[in-house]
Every structure is written in C-alpha cells, then in structure tokens.
Amino acid sequence: MTMINELLVFAAVLFVIGVIGVIIRRNTLIVLMSVELMLNAANLTFIAFSRARGDVLGHGFTLMIIALAAAEAAVGLAIVVAVFRSHKTVNVDKFNLMKR
C-alpha cells in the first residue's frame, strides 16, 4: 500500500505542475499541454485508487477521461488554428476577440 500512497502524492504534484504551467505560460499550445498533464494526473489517481480497492471501476472512468481529453484537444487546437489564422499569434494574452 505504500506504493499507492506515494503514487497518489506524485499524481498530485503532477497536477500542480500542470496548474503552474497554465498560470505561467502564455503560449496557448503549452497551456493546452498543461491541461493534458492535469487530466493525466487525474487518470493516475483513478487507477491508483482502483488498484488499492481491487475493483475496476476507475478504469472505466479513466477511459472516459481519455476520450474527453481527445475531444478537448481537438476543439482546443481547432480554436488555436482559427485564432492564429486571424490574429497571427498564439499568445493567450492577445486572445481578446470577445471584447471587441
């Protein structure tokens, strides 16, 4: 069980790294990658708890999170491409087209 405990902490640290990435980076692509990191940390937590309980419920949730991440990446990158086409930038701070 020690392994599960430590793994949960590692997953939490990975989640915080993702949060910090979203906070400090201005490149939209890297912000999206940080979101993927956070989702991945959630996956790891699900699988670890699933193993600790000895059931397979968390695996189903993880599958759904992976599908969700795929959908999120597709839509997010589509938005990045569309905004890059009109603004010629991928800087988050310059994505203010809703204000105008």
Closer residue to another protein (CB): 11 or 100: 11
Count of residues interacting with another protein (CB under 8 A):
70
Answer yes or no whether residue 95 interacts with another protein by CB under 8 A: no
Residue pointed to by tokens 């430590």: 6
Please state the closest distance from residue 99 (CB atom) to another protein, in A: 15
**Least distance from another protein to the Cβ atom of residue 93, Å:** 6
Cα separation, 39 vs 19, whole angstroms: 11
25 lies in the binding site for another protein (CB under 8 A): yes
What does the block give as tokens for 74? 């597709």
Site string for another protein, 47-66 (x = CB under 8 A): xx-xxxxx-xx-xx-xxx-x
Beta-carbon contacts of residue 59 (< 8 Å; ≥ 6 apart): 46, 47, 50
Does the footprint of another protein cover residue 29 (CB under 8 A)? yes
Are 33 and 21 within 8 A, CB to CB? yes
Helix ranges, 1-100 (H): 2-24, 28-53, 57-87
If one asks whether residue 42 binds another protein (CB under 8 A), the answer comes out as no
When asked if residue 87 is in the footprint of another protein (CB under 8 A), the reply is no
